[in-house]
Amino acid sequence: MITADGIFKNYGKTQALNNVSLHVEEGTIHGLIGPNGAGKSTTIKILSTLVRPTRGEVSIGGVPLKKGRAIRKQICVVPETPRLHEYLTAREEITSYARLSGLGRAQVSERVSAVVKELDLSAVQNQKISRFSTGMKKRVALALAMVADPPVLLLDEPMSGLDPVMRRQFKDTILGLEGKTVLVSDHDLYTVDELCTSVTILQEGRTLIEDNIDSLRRKVGKVSVEIRPQDPKQIHNLAAELQQMSHVTMAEVEKDSVVASVNDPEKDIPEVIRRASIYTDIMEAKPSKISLEEIFIKCAAEGGEL
Ligand X SMILES: Nc1ncnc2c1ncn2[C@@H]1O[C@H](COP(=O)(O)OP(=O)(O)O)[C@@H](O)[C@H]1O
229 is in the binding site of which of ligand X, Mg ion, none (Cβ under 5 to 8 A by kind)? none
Which residue number, 40 or 139, has a Cβ lying nearer to ligand X?
40
What number of helices (H) and strands (E) belong to the chain?
11, 14
DSSP per residue, 190-240: HHHTTT-SEEEEEETTEEEEEEEHHHHHHHHT-EEEEEEESSGGGHHHHHH
38 is in the binding site of which of ligand X, Mg ion, none (Cβ under 5 to 8 A by kind)? ligand X
The Cα 129–Cα 158 span in angstroms is 17
Which residue number, 16 or 115, has a Cβ lying nearer to ligand X?
16
Which residue number, 37 or 61, has a Cβ lying nearer to ligand X?
37
Which residue number, 207 or 257, has a Cβ lying nearer to ligand X?
207
- In the complex, which residues of this chain contact ligand X (CB under 6 A)? 11, 14, 16, 34, 36-42
- Among residues 141, 198, 199, the alpha carbon closest in space to that of 170 is found at 141
- Shortest Å, Cβ 35 to ligand X: 7
- Shortest Å, Cβ 16 to ligand X: 3
End-to-end CA distance of the chain: 26
- Shortest Å, Cβ 147 to ligand X: 25
Which residue number, 13 or 233, has a Cβ lying nearer to ligand X?
13
- Among residues 3, 11, 1, 2, the alpha carbon closest in space to that of 205 is found at 11
- In the complex, which residues of this chain contact Mg ion (CB under 5 A)? 40-41, 80
Give every CB contact of residue 266 below 8 A, 6+ residues apart in sequence: none
39 is in the binding site of which of ligand X, Mg ion, none (Cβ under 5 to 8 A by kind)? ligand X
158 is in the binding site of which of Mg ion, ligand X, none (Cβ under 5 to 8 A by kind)? none
287 is in the binding site of which of Mg ion, ligand X, none (Cβ under 5 to 8 A by kind)? none
Which residue number, 80 or 271, has a Cβ lying nearer to ligand X?
80
- Shortest Å, Cβ 205 to ligand X: 6
Neighbours of 39 (CB within 10 A): 24
Which residue number, 153 or 202, has a Cβ lying nearer to ligand X?
202
- Shortest Å, Cβ 253 to ligand X: 37
- Among residues 180, 140, 182, the alpha carbon closest in space to that of 32 is found at 182
CA distances from 38 to 44, 180, 188, 207, 294 (A): 12, 26, 12, 9, 17
14 is in the binding site of which of ligand X, Mg ion, none (Cβ under 5 to 8 A by kind)? ligand X
The Cα 79–Cα 150 span in angstroms is 16
Q: Are 128 and 89 in contact (CB under 8 A)?
A: yes
- Which residue of the chain is nearest Mg ion when measured via CB? 41
150 is in the binding site of which of Mg ion, ligand X, none (Cβ under 5 to 8 A by kind)? none
- Shortest Å, Cβ 263 to ligand X: 31
Strands 14-24 and 2-11: antiparallel
Tell me which H or E stretch contains 287.
strand 282-289
- Shortest Å, Cβ 39 to ligand X: 4
